[in-house]
Amino acid sequence: MIRFIHAADLHLGQPMKKIKTQNKKLYHSLLKATEESFFRLIDIAINEKVDFVLLAGDLYDNPKGSLQEQFLLKQGLDRLAQANIKTFMLFGNHDHLAMAQDHLRFPEEVTVFPREITTVHFTSKSKEEVAITGFSYDQRWIREDMARKFPKRFDKADYHLGMFHGQERQGRSDKDHYCPFTRTSLEELGYDYWALGHIHKSQILQARVPIVYPGNIQGTHFKEKGPKGACLVTLSKGREAEIEFVETTDWQFYEQPIKLPLLDGVDDLREVFERTYQEVKRTAEEEGLHLLTQFCFQLSLTDKDNLLLLKRYGEELMDQLRWQIDNKDNNFIAYPITYSIEVDRSEQKRVSNLYQQALLEKWQEYKDPAKFEALLQALFRHYHWQRYLKKEVDDEQFQEDVYQQALNKMDLSTTNYRQKQWRD
Ligand SMILES: [Mn+2]
């Protein structure tokens, strides 16, 4: 049996640029949050007495890592080495220059994968043979299919692990530049575990073998909400992998949903803000967390009065709440950062269906050749069109093409609409 910590995307040195705060104390706390999360990760590895730690890229937020960030990383790795824990790590797209730079010397227990795909072998504390294969980025973008270059599972090893910083192939040349891979190409190599990095959301890809993104260790905006941390993994021969998510940060981005009652003016709205803050504060106290909060007001389409009040006073009420906390409470356990307004989705959908239906009806209407012609009259008055198009307009195939293209355009608009919803 082997046990290890798999983390990625430490992004040491990352600023929280998108966080609105005038408060210096909060600002400095946020600067320290990533560092604290990293050291908690080290504590967990030591307390859990793991065999080794895997760090799958983007260790620094900067392309090469400032000396200060290098010191931070080294300090963590030194502590692991003192506890007799090996570290295997690589650099990703964010810190690709770290490969090319002078770097502080790491302890012997640390293996940094070079730019070439490399396999290291060692014997675990349980006297089992472990092989780990990986590589580092030496440039920001890598379009090559690196998975294809990985060696097949090393038969003599009890466990063979792959480390990979990258993203599943999207099938779009403008997106596929983070070592695009497919799940099948990883599965086919026959490894026992894939330690991935790059995607900041913690997830296990559906496959015959665990292909795991632990996510980043500290969120920096509201698209990175909720707990952040690493995976504590146990592999035993002939048994399914045990993967436990361990939280490493207590600064979390948090969304508090609010259903508004019918409000009777700005006083009522102010009370809602205050009440919501108190509610989040209770949650934060119970969980022992710092919640960087977004108030998410859920309205229905008919709720125009509340919407108007929010649009008019929301920003100022938020400022007022922050001012109060900065000056009186001076604690940041439920700090309100921003608010959002969400209109009921089922109603949105109803509107959209109606819209689509109307479009389709129009489309059907113009299938009538007389209407089609009438619509094109204005075009025919132009001599260019007469010259190039008149013959074709009478052609049935041409008409069908126009219909089809119109329909495609309509489909396109619905697709965009759906994508927008998902992004939310
Ligand atoms: Mn990253």
CA of 166 to the centre of ligand 1 (A): 9
CA of 207 to the centre of ligand 1 (A): 23
Domain end residue (candidates: 308, 343, 378): 343
Question: Are both 302 and 204 inside the same structural domain?
Answer: no
Domain end residue (candidates: 247, 274, 293): 247
Question: Are both 310 and 210 inside the same structural domain?
Answer: no
The residue segments making up the domain with residue 41 are 2-247
Q: Per the domain annotation, does 416 fall within a domain?
A: no
Distances (CA, A) of 210 to 129, 196, 333: 19, 10, 36
CA of 199 to the centre of ligand 1 (A): 6
Residue 349 has pLDDT above 70, yes or no: no
Domain end residue (candidates: 343, 375, 394): 343
Question: Are both 243 and 271 inside the same structural domain?
Answer: no
CA of 280 to the centre of ligand 1 (A): 29
CA of 232 to the centre of ligand 1 (A): 20
Q: Per the domain annotation, does 419 fall within a domain?
A: no
Q: Per the domain annotation, does 225 fall within a domain?
A: yes
Q: Output the domain CATH number for residue 193.
A: 3.60.21.10
Question: Are both 239 and 265 inside the same structural domain?
Answer: no
Question: Are both 288 and 380 inside the same structural domain?
Answer: no
Contacts of 332 (CB under 8 A, 6+ apart): 23, 25, 26, 29, 290, 325
Mean pLDDT of 66-89: 96
More confident residue, 362 or 282: 282
Q: Per the domain annotation, does 417 fall within a domain?
A: no
CA of 56 to the centre of ligand 1 (A): 10
Question: Are both 104 and 205 inside the same structural domain?
Answer: yes
CA of 328 to the centre of ligand 1 (A): 37
Contacts of 52 (CB under 8 A, 6+ apart): 2, 4, 5, 85, 86, 87, 88, 124
pTM comes to 0.80
CA of 60 to the centre of ligand 1 (A): 9
CA of 170 to the centre of ligand 1 (A): 18
Q: Per the domain annotation, does 98 fall within a domain?
A: yes
Residue 12 has pLDDT above 70, yes or no: yes
CA of 421 to the centre of ligand 1 (A): 24
The model's confidence at residue 182, banded by pLDDT at 50, 70 and 90, is very high
Q: Per the domain annotation, does 422 fall within a domain?
A: no
Residue with structure tokens 């192939």? 169
Looking at residue 387, its pLDDT comes to 67
Mean pLDDT of 349-371: 78
Looking at residue 413, its pLDDT comes to 45
Looking at residue 415, its pLDDT comes to 41
Task: List, for residues 143-173, the tens digit of each pLDDT value.
Answer: 999 999 999 999 999 999 999 999 999 888 7
Total structural domains within the chain: 3
Mean pLDDT of 259-265: 88
Question: Are both 238 and 256 inside the same structural domain?
Answer: no
CA of 65 to the centre of ligand 1 (A): 14
CA 249 to chain centroid, in Å, comes to 16
The mean pLDDT value of the chain amounts to 88
Task: List, for residues 91-144, the tens digit of each pLDDT value.
Answer: 999 998 888 888 899 999 999 999 999 999 999 999 999 999 999 999 888 999
CA of 148 to the centre of ligand 1 (A): 23
Q: Per the domain annotation, does 205 fall within a domain?
A: yes
Strand, helix or coil for residue 293: strand
Q: Which of 174-188, 273-287, 395-409 has the lowest mean pLDDT?
A: 395-409
Question: Are both 117 and 181 inside the same structural domain?
Answer: yes
Question: Are both 201 and 280 inside the same structural domain?
Answer: no
Neighbours of 252 (CB within 10 A): 21
Q: How far apart are CA 56 and CA 212, in angstroms?
A: 11
Q: Per the domain annotation, does 309 fall within a domain?
A: yes
Q: Which of 236-245, 309-318, 322-331 has the lowest mean pLDDT?
A: 322-331
CA of 355 to the centre of ligand 1 (A): 40
Question: Are both 370 and 398 inside the same structural domain?
Answer: yes
CA of 57 to the centre of ligand 1 (A): 7
